Structure 1
Amino acid sequence: MGAWSRLKEAFTREANISSPEDLLAQARGMRNGKVPVTKDTALRNSAVWACLRLRADLMSSFPIDVYRYVNGIQIEVPKPPVLVSPGGTEVGMREWMYSTEFDLDRGGNCFGVITERSGVIGPDGRGLPGRIELVELGAVAIRGNGSTITKFIINGAEYDPWEVWHEKQYTVAGVPLGLSPVAYAAWVIEETLSAQQFARDWFAGGAVPLAELKNNAKVVNAKDARVARDQFRAAVDDSGLFVHGMDWEYKPIQAVASQSAFIEARQYGASEIARFFGCPGDLIDVAVSGSSITYASMTQRNLQFLIMNLGPAVGRREDAFSRRLVSGPRFVKFNTDALLRMDPEARARTIGARITNRTLAPSEARALDNLPPFTEDQLSEFDRLFGSRSVPAQPTTAVPGATP
């Protein structure tokens, strides 16, 4: 029976279900051998850590805005408190977003207990969440029936689904939990963790001998070998000097070939891990062989990363927030322009072109730099410099929330 069949079978009857990572490990009929790979041990691999950190850093840096349509125009409205400090005074939005994205990317799910509700009634007839206390992935189990979660069990306590904040990604039909990239990448991660363990054993002398002490005159039996080894070790430990005749030869073991194989295995594992976690290798300093793709600017590189890798996750989270954290016709948008920042020269050219093509007013362009519209005195300076009014008259107030 395949992994999916086992996963779906687990949800066909009401039962306590652990994480998808454990279910998939059971479906494979193994526990990852000598170096077990879990959501926590996987973080020992630098490529895993770099991928998770990059995606969580960027997701937490996007400003979050709330809008509604008025006469077909998108108007920004005040954010509810849960989108300002979702974890109360101790946990702000950026930390909350970082933690939840980190869990989503490594475990396919994130969980929190809704401890406060606002007075605004949501689509389920209850108050919208006002505070969400995040919980560690390993502390959560679920009770399911078919494709429906009937109970969440968090640190031994049972919660109804409406009491728990649950986001998921990497989903398949019929399974109410998101897939764990760590579980599916376990084979590759295990290889690199095992390579790390072997390297530690090698250089500590636990995997293979560090040196060879050979008798060139006769065959040495086991008893004599132990005596010679102990004498040699005692001499080196006490004075660092070993005196012998023409029969013994000491030769350190060279591990150049094994070290090269170890490095190659680590590099191969890093590129595979980058694919599993949705991060191009060059963004986490993994050498990409045979690639000839070049970019005219860093903005183009970031744009591709946003479209191909991070954008879908942004859209899913916008949908989840719009359904469960704001009411009525309001909806949530992440401002991803922070990822697409241009250098000053390119930005000035873009804004100038938009003003020339009349898609952006000069006052709006000034507002982008947190500057008020030109005053009449400032406009007169242009008249003196250029002989005529080069900057058109503007409104006296800036347009809030304008973006290029």
Structure 2
Amino acid sequence: MTWWSKVRTAFTREAQLTSPEELLAAQRALRTQSGVAVTRDTALRHSAVWACLRLRADLVSTMPVDVYRRVNGIQVQVPTPPVLVTPGGETVGIQEWLYSTQVDLDRAGNAFGLITERSGVVGPDGRGLPGRIELLSLGDVAVRAKGAQITKYVVAGKEHDPWDVWHEKQFTVAGLPMGLSPVAYAAWSIEESLNAQKFAREWFGGGAVPLAELKNTAKTINKAEAKIAKDNFRAAVQTGDLFVHGVDWEYKPIQAVAQQSAFIEAREFGLTDIARFFGCPADMIDAAVSTGSITYASITQRNLQFLIMNLGPAVSRRETALSRGLTPGPRYVKLNRSALLAMDPEARARTIQTRIASRTLAPSEARALEDLPPFTPEQLAEFDVLFGAPRIQPTTATSSGAAS
């Protein structure tokens, strides 16, 4: 039976999961006696993992949250409900809430929160929509499920019904009630890189391989004699003293150039490989790429590619989850992606000018995009002084005395 078959079989009866990594336990044991155990928390020690999580969470959490509904086929913005302004109460605003949940989604495939208050707006299930969601630590949550149906959430040992818990998930697989952790998928690569770091520390500290070789050139010695010689040598060199021996011992430092090069190569490979698992281009987290530097025509082009290829799907999933769980139909939530598509001032001015000329943007709307109020009559008069009053060209012949 394959590892995946074993996982599916386990869900034919009610089972309890404490973390998404347990779903992959049949594939590979992450904990080894001599290596580095890769978990959600230990993975954060790797700079590439931290950089990817920070970049994605920073961008998602700073996208403005807007709520809309369609009226006669036209998208109309409506007031944002309080739960999308301060979802965790007065002390936890939407930016912090989105940041925390995005980090959990990206590193564990799941984000959990306890619904402690409900609004007066009734949702599709007949209950009030959540009015306050207090986020939970991943380590405090276990899930009881039967097949693909979650029956109970266990939070710090206390059972809760599914409708009392906010649960977002990503990296899902058909038939399983939880999202999967990219750390579990990427454990092979991350473990290699973390073990490379561990090996380097032990190498330069003398723990991984001997820093030097002490050889008897006169005879073959047994283990007991070797231990005595090693202890005597260590006792001398650790205190900076001289090591005195006869003509039969030869001391030779071991060269570590090849091992150091291999370590550096492993580190560079780890950065780019981990970036792929966490959905971030390597160059955006300052990791070296094999093709050298990457050049784009503009920062807008670079951000657009990142939004479409990497971050966009995760943003769409979050919009769907927030719309379905926190707003009454037919309202829906949109995270303003234009906040990511920052342009340089010259490109932004050209874009706005083109849109005004093509009549897809009104001048007053262009002023609003720059957080400016509409022009006052006094400001318009300044343009007349500077550029002259607008001239009206005649469209027909004037009096009979005018030359044609």
TM-score with structure 1 setting the length: 0.90
TM-aligned CA distance change 1:31 to 1:235, over 3 Å: closer
TM-aligned CA distance change 1:233 to 1:143, over 3 Å: closer
Q: 2:29 aligns to what?
A: 30
Q: 2:2 aligns to what?
A: 2
**Do the aligned partners of 1:62 and 1:336 also contact (CA within 8 Å) in 2?**
yes
Q: 2:400 aligns to what?
A: none
Q: Distance in 1 between matches of 2:70 and 2:57?
A: 30
- Is 1:319 the equivalent of 2:320? yes
Instruction: Describe the superposition over 1:226-283 as per-residue Cα deviations: whole angstroms up to 9, x where unpaired.
Output: 4444444344344544456655443322211011111112222222212211111111
- 4+ residue runs over 6 A deviation: none
Q: 1:398 aligns to what?
A: none
Identity score, percent: 70
Q: Secondary structure at the match of 1:76?
A: strand
| Cα displacement (A) at 1:158 | 0.6
Q: Distance in 2 between matches of 1:94 and 1:3?
A: 39
Q: 1:82 aligns to what?
A: 83
- Is 1:329 the equivalent of 2:324? no
Instruction: Describe the superposition over 1:17-37 as per-residue Cα deviations: whole angstroms up to 9, x where unpaired.
Output: 332311211x21534423222
Q: 1:11 aligns to what?
A: 11
Q: Secondary structure at the match of 2:339?
A: helix
Q: 2:399 aligns to what?
A: none
Q: 1:52 aligns to what?
A: 53
After TM superposition, list the pairs within 5 Å mapping 1:5-404 onto structure 2. Answer: 5-25=5-25, 27-28=26-27, 30-33=29-32, 34-216=35-217, 219=220, 222-242=223-243, 248-290=249-291, 294-389=295-390
Bigger Rg, structure 1 or 2: 2
Q: Secondary structure at the match of 2:334?
A: strand
**Do the aligned partners of 1:379 and 1:389 also contact (CA within 8 Å) in 2?**
no
Instruction: Describe the superposition over 1:83-136 as per-residue Cα deviations: whole angstroms up to 9, x where unpaired.
Output: 111111222211111111111111111111101111111111111101111111
How many residues get paired? 389
**Do the aligned partners of 2:283 and 2:294 also contact (CA within 8 Å) in 1?**
no
**Letter in structure 1 aligned against 2:260:** Q
**Letter in structure 2 aligned against 1:168:** K
| Cα displacement (A) at 1:3 | 3.4
**Letter in structure 1 aligned against 2:19:** S
**Letter in structure 2 aligned against 1:315:** S
TM-aligned CA distance change 1:45 to 1:238, over 3 Å: closer
**Letter in structure 1 aligned against 2:378:** D
**Letter in structure 2 aligned against 1:108:** G
Instruction: Describe the superposition over 1:5-59 as per-residue Cα deviations: whole angstroms up to 9, x where unpaired.
Output: 222222221222332311211x215344232221111112222221111111111
Q: Distance in 1 between matches of 2:173 and 2:245?
A: 70
**Do the aligned partners of 1:380 and 1:389 also contact (CA within 8 Å) in 2?**
no
TM-aligned CA distance change 1:222 to 1:145, over 3 Å: closer
Instruction: Describe the superposition over 1:362-398 as per-residue Cα deviations: whole angstroms up to 9, x where unpaired.
Output: 11111112211111221111111112249xxxxxxxx
Q: Distance in 2 between matches of 1:109 and 1:324?
A: 15
Structure 1 gaps, min length 5: 391-404
**Letter in structure 2 aligned against 1:9:** T
**Letter in structure 2 aligned against 1:173:** A
Q: Distance in 2 between matches of 1:117 and 1:356?
A: 48
Q: Secondary structure at the match of 1:38?
A: coil
Q: Distance in 2 between matches of 1:161 and 1:202?
A: 50
TM-aligned CA distance change 1:24 to 1:366, over 3 Å: same
TM-aligned CA distance change 1:8 to 1:236, over 3 Å: closer
TM-aligned CA distance change 1:364 to 1:29, over 3 Å: closer
Structure 2 gaps, min length 5: 392-404
